[in-house]
Structure formats: structure tokens, C-alpha cells
A = this chain, B = another copy of it.
Amino acid sequence: MTNTSPNIAVICGGVGAARFLRGLVRVAEPANISAIINVADDMVLHGLAISPDIDTITYTLADAIDPERGWGLRDETWRAMEALGRYGDRNWFSLGDQDIATHLQRTARLAEGATLTEVTAEIAAAWDVDVRLLPVTNDPVSTRVTRADTDEEISFQEYFVGTQHSVPISRVRFDGIDAARLTPEATAAIEAADVVVIAPSNPVVSIAPVLDVPGVRDALAASGGPCVAISPIVGGEALKGPAANMLHELGLDASATGVAQLWSDVIDVLVIDDVDAAHSLAVARAGVTPYVTDTIMASPVRSSALARSVLSASLLKQGSTT
């Protein structure tokens, strides 16, 4: 690692982004990496300010994430949640005892007037995380999902955790996003990036509410560097979570080609999995350079290999077919 390590801005959701970053820090200088993180899943629950994607990334980079669940802290206990059961069914959203401390700290600092950007940096520092973790905005943005079966609009967490994303959806919107301001820190990180990466996160509810914050696309255009996305859809399925179902239910193509079409105005290169090699031509026809490799981050070593591939793929921008 040298000072000539590129400045990299990574557009992030939660688990997929966290695993990618865990690999990226092994092949690039962590201090030169900025994670621009989705906040539309954030919520206030029982008074606690909760930022699921920020916490997943922080805990993963701290090597403190629970490896089985993929969220929350390892060696966690659930005494508070068990006790909450006495009062009824309010424990649908599980908060581990140690994890609660993070939410208490965030809630307290926000009440003291700190911005989410400041709190996030403080918490990251407490975990010795040297990647810059930047919420895309300090303003409230809230993903709202319309159930196709009942036409009821519910919060993302009610959909994702409450129903275990088992119900069909007809619409997704991001409440507050038009008034949200891209932070100065995130603006600067994107504009200064030699490479922008879109992490393999849910396109509908993780990446869209970052890209749709006013100013993000302008900052991406200003950066001048290549923008490389990693397809979160592999073989027509999401590796984790409801991304493929959501794309399908919203009338979009749940495939590597569909992802290229979705992001063709933003990305130069799409990294697709070996199993999707047959999509290369269609990706190119969408105006995006395909780069085929193994994208399954089954281990930190595989995450590093993918990160190295992404940096290689970023060099393809000049030769992209449009």
C-alpha cells in the first residue's frame, strides 16, 4: 500500500457492501476509501436511533459482525429483547444487548446536536475502523413499501423484518429524499474519487436511495473517474434478501442485464458473475462494459479477489462499448 493508492468511493447498502469493503481494505489503502452509505432503512424504534446499514458496515470492518447472521455483533446476548416480551409483541425487531449500546450512543449524540456523519465517524473510530464511513445525508429519508396484496404502505423494516419480505410489493418510495441534502463530506469523497464502486447491494432499497439523493448524480459526473458496479443479481437470484423478487414485482428485469439497464446512466462497467457470462452482450448493448468474474464473496479472501477484479475492471472504462 502506498500513497498512490486510488481514492475510492463505494456506494453502499448493508451486508453485500460490508463484505465487499472487507475485501477492498486488503487491496487498497483504507484511509483512501470512502463508503457512501444508505440511510433510508434508518429508523427510530422505541426511542432509539437505529442505522442498520451503517452498523453492519462498521461491525463488519471491525471484524465484530456475527458471521452466521451477517448482522449484529458476535457473542451477542438478547436479555433486553427477552424482557421486552413481557410487555407484548414489541420485540419483532431484535436488538442485541451490546448492539443497543451503539443505538444509545447514537441517540444521545444526535440529541446533543451532532450530525449523523459526526456520530458515525465517532462510532467507527471507537471500533478502529479506518475506512471513512459517510452517511449519504444527515437528513431523514425513509423507505416506504406498498404491499400489493393489501395496498397498505409500510416501512422498510416492517416489510423486511416484520413480514420477512414474504409479501408482494407494488411500489417503493423514499419519503423525504427530495429535501435531503448530500453531505459536504460525501460530496467531496465522490468528487475526489478516482474510482466509484456500486457495491452488490439491493438496487431497489439500498442503492436507489443513495443515487436518488439530490446531488449524487452530479457529484458522480464531476468525479470523472470510472464507475464500476457489481451486480447483486447472480443467475437471476439475489445472493441474499429480496432484491430479485422486488425487481420482478416492480416490473424490472431481475438479471445481470436488467441491472445494467437500471444503472446505464451512471455506471461504465458492470462486474457480473461467471454464471451470467451469457449476459455480456446484452450488458454491452445497454451501454455498459461487462466484466465477468467470480462475484461470490464466500470468504474474506474471495472478497479481496473480487475487490481486485473491480479495480482491474475500472481500467476498462476507456475501452467501453456504447
Residues of A within 8 A of B (CB): 44-49, 73, 77, 79-84, 86-88, 90, 97-105, 107-108, 111, 122-123, 126-127
Pick from B47, B86, B105: contact of A108, CB under 8 Å: B47
CA–CA, A319 to B59, complex, Å?
70
Chain B residues whose CB sits within 8 angstroms of the CB of A77 once the complex forms? 77, 79, 97
CA–CA, A84 to B87, complex, Å?
25
A-B contact pairs, 13 of them (CB 8 A): A47-B49, A73-B83, A79-B98, A80-B98, A80-B100, A82-B98, A82-B101, A83-B97, A84-B101, A87-B122, A87-B126, A90-B108, A100-B100
A122 (CB) vs chain B CBs: closest residue: B87
A79 (CB) vs chain B CBs: closest residue: B97
* Cβ contact within 8 Å between A47 and B111: yes
* Cβ contact within 8 Å between A101 and B83: yes
Distance in angstroms from A118 CB to nearest chain B CB is: 13
* Cβ contact within 8 Å between A86 and B47: no
CA–CA, A46 to B111, complex, Å?
8
Chain B residues whose CB sits within 8 angstroms of the CB of A127 once the complex forms? 86
Chain B residues whose CB sits within 8 angstroms of the CB of A45 once the complex forms? 108
CA–CA, A101 to B95, complex, Å?
10
Pick from B48, B73, B80, B111: contact of A101, CB under 8 Å: B80
Chain B residues whose CB sits within 8 angstroms of the CB of A104 once the complex forms? 46-48, 80, 84, 90
CA–CA, A73 to B79, complex, Å?
12
CA–CA, A90 to B82, complex, Å?
24
Chain B residues whose CB sits within 8 angstroms of the CB of A105 once the complex forms? 46, 84, 87, 90
Chain B residues whose CB sits within 8 angstroms of the CB of A47 once the complex forms? 44, 47-49, 103-104, 107-108, 111
CA–CA, A98 to B77, complex, Å?
11
CA–CA, A87 to B49, complex, Å?
16
Distance in angstroms from A321 CB to nearest chain B CB is: 50
* Cβ contact within 8 Å between A87 and B101: yes
CA–CA, A107 to B45, complex, Å?
9
Instruction: A48-B104, A79-B79, A80-B104 are known; give 19 further A-B pairs, CB within 8 A.
Output: A46-B105, A46-B107, A46-B108, A47-B49, A47-B103, A47-B108, A47-B111, A48-B48, A77-B77, A77-B79, A77-B97, A79-B97, A80-B80, A83-B97, A84-B104, A86-B101, A86-B127, A90-B108, A100-B100
Q: Which of A88, A97, A123, A127 has the most CB of B within 10 A?
A: A97
* Cβ contact within 8 Å between B87 and A123: yes
CA–CA, A88 to B99, complex, Å?
15
CA–CA, A79 to B95, complex, Å?
12
Distance in angstroms from A269 CB to nearest chain B CB is: 39
